[in-house]
Chain A
Amino acid sequence: MRKIRDTNLMILSSDDEDDCDYKPNSHRSYTKKPKSRSFITRTNPRQPKKPRVSGSRSRFSRDSPNLFEVGFPEEDFEELFSWSKVSADSGRSNVKELWVDKHKPHSLEELAVHKKKVEEVKSWFEERLKTTKGNLINNVVVINGKAGVGKSTTIQVIASHFGARLCEWNTPTPTIWQEHVHNTNTGIQYTSKLDEFVNFIEKIRKYGLIPSSSSEDAKPSIILLIDDLPMTNGRVAFERLQSCLLHLVRSTQLPTAILVSDYDEADSADHTARRLEQLQLSLENAGACKVSFNPITNNSIKKTLSRICRQEQCSVTDEQLDLIAKGSGGDIRHAITSLQLFCVKPDLVLNGSYSTPSYSYGKEDDIDALVSGISLLFGRDETLSLFHALGKFLHNKRETEVANAITPGDAFLVQENFSRLPLKMDAPEKVLCQAHGQARPVTDFLHENVLDFISDEAMDDAWHVSSYFSDSDLLLSSFRGMLARYNEAENVLQSAAASVAVRGVLFGNSHPSPPRWHAIRKPKLWQVEKSMLHNQKEIVRQRFIAYNGSSSCNVSDVATGYMPLLKWLEHRASGFEDNQALVYCNKTDGESCDRMGLDDKESDISDDEIEEW
C-alpha cells in the first residue's frame, strides 16, 4: 500500500445515506460528514479530473460523479496512470509516480515560491487562525498567478504548518456532451458544476464546518481552499458566480483562500479574461485580500530541480538544468515534469527528429543540439501579457548611448534629429506577437496613454505620435466592408498598422517624461463610441419629428440644430434637467478616466521590476 501523503484532507461526501454506510478506512482520514456538497481531492494535478471513479468505491460514484478519491488500490492506479509508465531500465525507485507529486514540498522551506510571498500569506493565515472570534471582515484571500506557480501547494504546506485542516474544493471538469449522453443513459443526472459550487459555498457559509467529534483538538482550525473557479458561460452564470463569491467574502467565518489561475493575461477584448479581472476586482472591493504570485525565478526552480535530481539519483548537468528551468517560464510544475521526462530518456533529445544538427562533431554541438532539442521539447510558449507589452512601449527604455561604433557602409545613417538610441527590448513586432496584441486594441490603448509619457515641453513629439496614430487608423480602415476573400491582405494591413502605431510611439516619444509610475488606462474611446451609438439611435428616432412628420431630417442637422434648441426648451420648461446624454460637462481631467482594476496589475510591480523589462 502506498503511502498517501499526510495532509489533513477532508472529504465531505454528498448525502445522508452515506452516513450510515460509513466505514472507517485506514487509508483516509475521514471525519464526520456534515451536510455539504462533495468535491474532489486532488492527488495528481496533471491528471484530467475524471468524473468516473473506479468500481470499488461505487457508493460515491452514483451520486457524485466527480468524486475522485485518494488512495486507489494498485490496479486502479495502474489503469489510470498507465500512460506515464516509465521504462523499467531507468532504475528509479518508484517509476509509477509523477515527480510532481512525489517531491511535493512538505515544509515551508521546501517551497520554491518567493519567500516574501510565502511569509505574507502565512502571516495572513496566522492572523486569521489565531483569533477565534472571526470578527474580521476580510477572511478571504484571493491568490492569483499563472499555472504551476505554487499557489495550492503553498496553501497546503501552510495548512499543515499550522496544523489546520484543509477543506478543499477542486473545480471538476465540466461535463462534455458525449459524457452527458453517456451519463444519462446510465441514469446519472446532469448537474451544472456551477450549481454544485454555489451549493457548496452556500452550505459552507451558512453552516460552517461541524467539527469532528473524534479529533483531538478542542477546536481544530480549518482553512477553506477554493482551487479554481468553475467555468461560467454567459453573463447570467457569471453574475451568479460573482454574487455567490461576494457573499462568501462578506460573511464567511473561515479563513478562505481562493486561487485564480490567469490563463492568458488580459487581452481585454477577451470576455472571459475581462470577467475574471472584474470578478477579482469586485472581490477586493468587498474586502478580500489579494496576493499575486509571480512566476518562479529560474534560480528557485534550479534549486528544486537539483534537489529532486539528488533524491532521484539521476545525473543532469548544470547547464541542462538551467535550460530546463529557462524553458519552463516560471512554471515549476512544468519544470519538474520536463525534468522527469528528460531523465527518463536523456538521449531522446539527441535522437530526436527535430532539427537538431548532427551531434558527432564535438561537445559544443552536443550542447547546441541539446539546446535546440530542449527548447523544442520543453520550451513553453512565452506569452507576455498585453500590459507588459504596452508598458514596454510606453516607457520606451533605451540604452544610454550607442553601444557599437557605426561602421561606415554598414548602418543606415539618418539625420541627427531622426536618430534614436537603440531600444532595450526585443523587436517591437516580436513583443506584440508574444502579447498576442491585435492592432485595434493596441492602438487604442497606446493612444489613450501615450500622452502621459511625453514630457510636457515636447509638443512636437506629441504631434509626431498623433500623426502616426492617424496613419495607423488609415491602414486599419482600408478594408472596411470588404469581402472575406481579402483576408490575406487584411492581415498584412493589420500587422502593418500595429507596427506603425507602436514604432510611432517609440520613435515619436524622443523626450520621455521622467520615469514614474503611471497606470495604464483602458481606452476611454470605447466608452465614447458606445455612448455615441446610443445617442445616435436616439437621434434617429427623433428624425421624423421635423417637418411636421411629413419628411425626415438628416441626422447631423438634428444633432447640430434641433437638439440644442430642444434641450434649451426642456431646460427652461422643467427647471433643471439632467438629460445626461446631451449635457456638456466641463470635467476636469483625471476624473473622467475610467480606471479599472487593470491598474492593479501594475501596482503589484514596483518601479524596480519595471526596470527588468
Chain B
Amino acid sequence: MLWVDKYRPKTLDQVIVHQETAENLKKLVTEQDCPHLLFYGPSGSGKKTLIMALLRQIFGTSAEKVKVENRTWKIDAGSRTIDLELTTLSSTNHVELSPSDAGFQDRYIVQEIIKEMAKNRPIDTKGKKGYKVLVLNEVDKLSREAQHSLRRTMEKYSASCRLILCCNSSSKVTEAIRSRCLNVRINAPKEEQIVKVLEFIGKKEGLQLPPGFAARVADKSNRSLRRAILSFETCRVQQYPFSSNQAIPPMDWEEYVSEICSDIMREQSPKRLFQVRGKLYELLINCIPPEIILKKLLSELLKKLDEELKHEVCHWAAYYEHRMRMGQKAIFHLEAFVAKFMSIYKAFLIATFG
C-alpha cells in the first residue's frame, strides 16, 4: 500500500493538517445537525480525507466498509429510455458516486438516481442518524442543467438525505447550490505543515531524514500534500539512505513538459511545431488532462521569459485554455498556443537581436 493511503488519517482526531477545520466539523456533526456540505479547494489538499473522516465520525466504522457496485439504470426520458451505467461505492449509510462520469447525461443521474436514493430512508435504530449521506465527486464538472436539478432535490429531500459535494473550484458550482450548502474551504497546506507530515511519516517508517530534505520535498510539491507524499515515496524507492542533496525526481510527465518547453525556446519553426505536436500526443495518450499540460507549459515558459513577453504569453494561454474548454479536440488549441508562442518569441528575438 502506498504511503499516501497508509498514513491517511481515518478519524477527525488524527488529522494533522487542517486541524481547526476538523475540530469544527466534529462539533458540527456531534450536535446532530448536519447540513448539506460543499468541500472545495485545490487538488491534493485533503478534501476527500476529511470527508471520509467525517463520515466515520457520523456513522462509525461502518462507513469504511464499502463495496463497489456497477449499476445500470434505465431512465425513461420522455420518448426514449436511456441506459446509464454508473459505478458507486456504498456502505450501509452512505453512497459515493461521480455524476460527471455520465457525461452530458448527468442530469438524469441527478434527477432520478439521487431522488431514488434520497427517498429510501434508513431505518432508524437508536443512536443512529436518521439520514443517509450522498457524496458527490467533481461537482464542478456537472453540466448546468444537472446543477439546476440538484438544487431542488437538495431542498426537497433534505430531511432524509444529506449531500456532501466535493469539487476543486467552487466558481463552477452555481450560486444556487452554493447557497444551499455549507461551504467548507480546504486550503492547500502550507509548506511547514507538509514538512510536519513528512516527518511524521518518516518517523513511522523508521527513516532517517537529513536536515532540509523534507523541506525540499515540500517545496517541490507545489503545496499539494498528495504530491509531496508520493514524491517522498519515490525518493525512498530511488535511493535510501537519503543523501542531503539528493535530487527529488519530478513526475515523468512534468519532465516531459519541460523538455517541450526547451524545445520551443530553442527553435521556432513549423518543423519544430510538428515535433512538439508529437510530444503533446504522448502526453494526451497518457491521459494527462490538457489544461494541466497547458498550465505546466506556461509556468515553465514564464521562468525563462523576459518581463515584456510574460504578459502576452499568459494572455494567450488564458485565451486558448478557454477555447479548449469549449472545444472538443484539445490538440488544436494546445498547438495553436504553442504556435502563437513561437511566433511571438521569434519576433521578439528578431527585434532584439536582429
Interface residues of A (CB under 8 A from B): 447, 451-452, 454-463, 465-467, 469-470, 472-474, 476-477, 480-481, 524-525, 528, 531-532, 535-536, 539, 544, 546-557, 559-565, 567-569, 572, 581-582, 584-585, 587, 589, 592
Contact of A565 with B233 in the complex, beta carbons under 8 Å: yes
Interfacial chain B residues near A470, Cβ < 8 Å: 320, 323, 327, 332-333, 336
Q: CB-CB contacts of B312-345 with A at 8 A, as 1s and 0s? A: 0000000010010011110111011001101100
In Å, the complex CA distance between A551 and B333 comes to 34
Contact of A528 with B284 in the complex, beta carbons under 8 Å: yes
In Å, the complex CA distance between A504 and B219 comes to 45
Could you say which of B63, B89, B343 contacts A463, with CB atoms under 8 Å apart?
Answer: B343
Q: Is B28 an interface residue (CB 8 A)?
A: no
Contact of A539 with B104 in the complex, beta carbons under 8 Å: no
Could you say which of A469, A557, A559 contacts B226, with CB atoms under 8 Å apart?
Answer: A557
Q: CB-CB contacts of B220-233 with A at 8 A, as 1s and 0s? A: 00000011001001
Contact of A547 with B339 in the complex, beta carbons under 8 Å: no
**Shortest CB distance B28–A (Å):** 20
Q: Given A525-B329, A550-B64, decide whether A559 and B342 contact each other with a Cβ distance below 8 A.
A: no
In the complex, which residue of chain B has the Cβ closest to the Cβ of A569? B237
Interfacial chain B residues near A564, Cβ < 8 Å: 230, 251-253
Contact of B292 with A584 in the complex, beta carbons under 8 Å: no
**Shortest CB distance B224–A (Å):** 8
In the complex, which residue of chain A has the Cβ closest to the Cβ of B4? A546
Q: Given A551-B52, A551-B89, A584-B256, decide whether A546 and B5 contact each other with a Cβ distance below 8 A.
A: yes
Tell me whether chain A's interface is mostly helix, strand or loop, or mixed.
Answer: helix
In Å, the complex CA distance between A172 and B118 comes to 63
**Shortest CB distance A86–B (Å):** 54
**Shortest CB distance A249–B (Å):** 35
In Å, the complex CA distance between A562 and B251 comes to 10
Contact of A451 with B48 in the complex, beta carbons under 8 Å: no
Q: Given A474-B323, A550-B52, decide whether A568 and B234 contact each other with a Cβ distance below 8 A.
A: yes
Could you say which of A451, A476, A544 contacts B89, with CB atoms under 8 Å apart?
Answer: A544
Q: Is B281 an interface residue (CB 8 A)?
A: yes
Contact of A548 with B332 in the complex, beta carbons under 8 Å: no
Interfacial chain B residues near A481, Cβ < 8 Å: 103-104
In the complex, which residue of chain A has the Cβ closest to the Cβ of B138? A554
Interfacial chain B residues near A581, Cβ < 8 Å: 285-286
Interfacial chain B residues near A559, Cβ < 8 Å: 286-289
Interfacial chain B residues near A554, Cβ < 8 Å: 43, 137-138
Could you say which of B226, B268, B275, B285 contacts A459, with CB atoms under 8 Å apart?
Answer: B268
Contact of B104 with A480 in the complex, beta carbons under 8 Å: yes
Interfacial chain B residues near A451, Cβ < 8 Å: 270-271, 273-274, 277
Interfacial chain B residues near A535, Cβ < 8 Å: 285-287
Contact of B339 with A466 in the complex, beta carbons under 8 Å: yes
**Shortest CB distance B103–A (Å):** 8
In the complex, which residue of chain A has the Cβ closest to the Cβ of B3? A565
Interfacial chain A residues near B104, Cβ < 8 Å: 480-481
In Å, the complex CA distance between A547 and B8 comes to 8
Interfacial chain A residues near B323, Cβ < 8 Å: 470, 473-474
In the complex, which residue of chain A has the Cβ closest to the Cβ of B88? A552
In Å, the complex CA distance between A539 and B87 comes to 14
Could you say which of A473, A531, A553, A592 contacts B333, with CB atoms under 8 Å apart?
Answer: A473
Contact of B287 with A550 in the complex, beta carbons under 8 Å: no
Q: CB-CB contacts of B255-294 with A at 8 A, as 1s and 0s? A: 0100000000000111101110110011111111100100
Q: Given A474-B327, A551-B96, decide whether A528 and B285 contact each other with a Cβ distance below 8 A.
A: yes
Contact of B256 with A459 in the complex, beta carbons under 8 Å: no
In Å, the complex CA distance between A447 and B89 comes to 42
**Shortest CB distance A449–B (Å):** 10
In the complex, which residue of chain A has the Cβ closest to the Cβ of B252? A564
Contact of A551 with B48 in the complex, beta carbons under 8 Å: yes
Q: Is B346 an interface residue (CB 8 A)?
A: yes
Q: Is B99 an interface residue (CB 8 A)?
A: no
Interfacial chain A residues near B286, Cβ < 8 Å: 535, 559, 563, 581-582, 584
